[in-house]
Structure 1
Amino acid sequence: MQKKPYRDLNTYFRTRFGCRVHKVTVDAGLDCPNRDGTLSTGGCIYCNAKGSGTGAHRQGVSITRQIERSKDRIARRFKTNLLMAYFQSFTNTYAPVKQLKALYDEALAVENVVGLAIGTRPDCVDEAVLDLLESYARDHLIWIEYGLQSAHDHTLSLINRGHDFACFQRAVSATHGRNINICAHVILGLPGETRQDMMATADAVAAMGIDGVKLHLLYVVRGTPMEALYRSGRYRCLRQREYAELVCSFIERLPETTIIQRLTGDPHLHELVAPAWSLQKKDTVELIHRTFQEKNTWQGKRLMPS
């Protein structure tokens, strides 16, 4: 198999564990301060009502059961028994530490779970939460995934993010040195952002010593403020080739050590308004790989000097 022009997650797992590790999405039933009235009630302008969750918690499915019921399917399809519990929906450090510990303990108690990936906001971590995660990191692989989306405060304000870039910087600084891996989520194609803006976000992330990055396409979800922007003609979705070029250019500016955990997102068919091509994930990933080849480029090629 031809080596990828970037450091991908599967290669990272194989290097660390000697085999593939599969991430299992866990819905812990937690909320978000940007939806419950603490910051606002509307959330980010692109966020769906489920917060990218599965709805399993509302159905009364325990964390243990959520992981267990995926095991056989994963073993058959991906030929692995090792799992990472991925707390994905909403903000998974947004609860008292005692409650968080019970949730994380339950996930790690499931056989063959080798670690946790915790999706959260940079304004929802403190010393107590980081101390808890650091205690797990002594024996398990721990990733914390901070939603950044953009390094530009004007964009963060426009999308109703509820925090600024300095907040993200503080969270990253507080997490460093604890054996906790840090992943930044970035959205390409946010309203009002130019290519130059997106590349500036890449440069900012590259300079912070972050371990991984997830790249997402901004797609329009039904019932969100983004839908109103799109329908009024005030927002244009990225074209597929345009997105592929932006992804390559973004990754060019990241250190070779940064793990590229995701190249694009997974919209739900029944929620998606636009762009239709975002449902073609396999085609999009293949186009990104072809674009790397056409540009004769690779991760780190255009890394800004420190």
Structure 2
Amino acid sequence: MDNKRYNTFNNELKKHFGQKVIKLSLDGGFTCPTRDKSKGSSGCIFCSQRGSGEFAGLFETIDSNINDKLEKINIEAQIKNQIKLLSKKWSDAKYIAYFQNFTNTYEKPSYLQALYQKALSQKDVVALDIATRPDCLGDDILEVLDYFNKKTYLIVELGLQSIHEKSEKFIRRGYNIDVFEKAIDDLSRLNIKTVVHTIVGLPTEDRDDMLATYKYLNKKNIHGVKIQQLNILKNTDLEKYYEKNKFELMTADEYVDFVCDIIQLLRKDIVIHRLTGDGAKEELIEPKWILNKRYVLNSIDRVMKQRDAHQGDISCPKLQ
């Protein structure tokens, strides 16, 4: 088990499965309502052409019938190719089929059923992780998720980023907080584990604004959070905005210190799935320090130890 001062996803998996479990980043051939003109055509301001899935197994949005689409994306090959590489280091690991880029419930239920089943049927795949949007969880989609939640270890990830309307407008998220709350309630009713994506460092927010998002999440029935700094990637609208406005970005040490504040604030039971991002080197403009992920994570451990702090210290009412 990890000897950490916070509740890690790695520990969660080891407790549940009793062994090493690794995510496989998969591309299911999806798009987003903020890209296909349903709610816009440019996507979120920070999102790359890969739909926040720089390391997913395929980069292509496919428009065809179910059988043709399943054949073209070839989930079986994506999984086998990644396992072939990973098994050289972890010979006895199990795997999570992680549908990462774009909106992975933004399709007909029949396609989702076939896609998720195809992934889950592959050898050594023991879980599903589906990244999506709160506004793409209609009743018919929830039925599919409910089916797989009863069948396997299922996680649904929701891209909230921030609770603030000014930030929602800036990033062009395309839904308000009421939509998010309904999605959380619906998933909670089905006992589906929900993980919420958040971003630190939006130019629309100060320290109190950012902390307010985590205080809000503390009150919700969520399984986990993903935390990352704002990444400025090439060929995004955020790149254009940054070149024009040159807003201040956090240094590595500032980010580490603030993340430790967040960790202390979060409820002890919330699983921390990510503490820093994985920007692709060839696409990253700023901040360059995120490329040294090991330094960031080690620094978080060091600062937490220096503070003699643990997750949930400040969320305890007596410490408020």
TM-score relative to the length of structure 1: 0.95
Alignment of 1:120 onto 2:122: no
The residue that corresponds to 2:248 in the other structure is 236
Aligned mate of 2:58, from 47, 56, 59: 56
2:19 and 2:93 in contact (8 A); partners too: no
Q: Does 1:17 align with 2:17?
A: yes
Partner of 1:140: 152
Separation in 2, partners of 1:242, 1:295: 15
- 1:77 aligns to what SS in structure 2? coil
Residues of 1 paired with 2:44 and 2:107: CA distance? 20
Where do 1:37-56 residues align within 5 Å?
37-53=37-53, 54=56, 56=58
The partner residue of 1:168 within 180, 204, 207 is 180
User: RMSD over aligned Cα, in angstroms?
Assistant: 1.7
1:204 to 201, 204, 216: 216
**What is the DSSP-based 3-state SS (H/G/I as helix, E as strand, rest coil) of the residue aligned with 2:239?**
helix
Tell me the distance in 2 between the aligned counterparts of 1:197 and 1:132: 36
- In the alignment, what sits opposite 2:82? 70
Q: For residues 144-223 of structure 1, what are the structure 2 equivalents within 5 Å?
A: 144-223=156-235
Cα distance in 2 for residues equivalent to 1:104 and 1:251: 33
The answer to whether the 8 A contact 2:25-2:57 is kept is no
Query: Which moves more between the two structures, 256-265 or 130-139?
Result: 130-139
Percent same amino acid among aligned pairs? 35
Give the Å deviation of 1:21.
0.7
Q: Which amino acid aligns with 2:271?
A: I
Cα deviation, 1:112-150, whole Å, max 9, x if unaligned, reads: 111100000111111211111111122200000000000
Q: 2:250 matched to 1:248?
A: no
Unaligned runs of 5+ in 1: none
Q: Deviations over 1:37-87 (max 9, x none)?
A: 111111111110111233615394511111111113222323433111000
Q: Deviations over 1:86-115 (max 9, x none)?
A: 000100000010111111011011011111
Give yes or no for contact 1:134–1:180 (8 Å, CA) kept in 2: yes
Number of residues of Structure 1 aligned to a counterpart in Structure 2? 306
* Partners of 1:80 and 1:147 in 2: CA distance: 32
Q: Distance in 2 between matches of 1:246 and 1:119?
A: 26
* Aligned twin of 2:276: 264
Q: Distance in 2 between matches of 1:209 and 1:291?
A: 28
> 1:190-246 CA deviation, whole Å, 9 max, x = no partner?
122111111100001111021011111101111212112222234222110111112
- More deviation, 48-57/7-16: 48-57
Structure 1 counterpart of 2:99, from 65, 77, 87: 87
CA distance in 2, matches of 1:254, 1:17: 25
Q: What residue identity is the alignment partner of 1:188?
A: V
> Which AA in structure 1 matches 2:118?
E
Corresponding letter in the other structure for 1:38:
S
Where structure 2 has 5 or more consecutive residues not aligned to the other structure, the ranges are: 62-71
Q: Does the Cα contact within 8 Å between 2:2 and 2:10 map onto a contact in 1?
A: no
> Is the 8 Å Cα contact of residues 74 and 80 (structure 1) preserved in structure 2?
no
Within 2, Cα distance between the matches of 1:3 and 1:241? 22
- CA apart distance, 1:2: 6.7
Secondary structure at the counterpart of residue 146 of structure 2:
helix
1:292 to 279, 304, 311: 304
SS at match of 2:225: strand
Distance 2:87 2:2 in 1: 25
Displacement of 1:283 in angstroms is 0.8
Q: 1:171 to 1:257 in 2, by over 3 A?
A: same
Residues 268 and 2 of structure 1, relative CA distance in 2, 3 Å threshold: closer
Structure 1 counterpart of 2:58, one-letter code: A
User: Partner residue of 1:7?
Assistant: 7
Q: TM-score, normalised by structure 2?
A: 0.91
Distance of aligned partners of 1:80 and 1:258 in 2 relative to their CA distance in 1, 3 Å threshold? farther
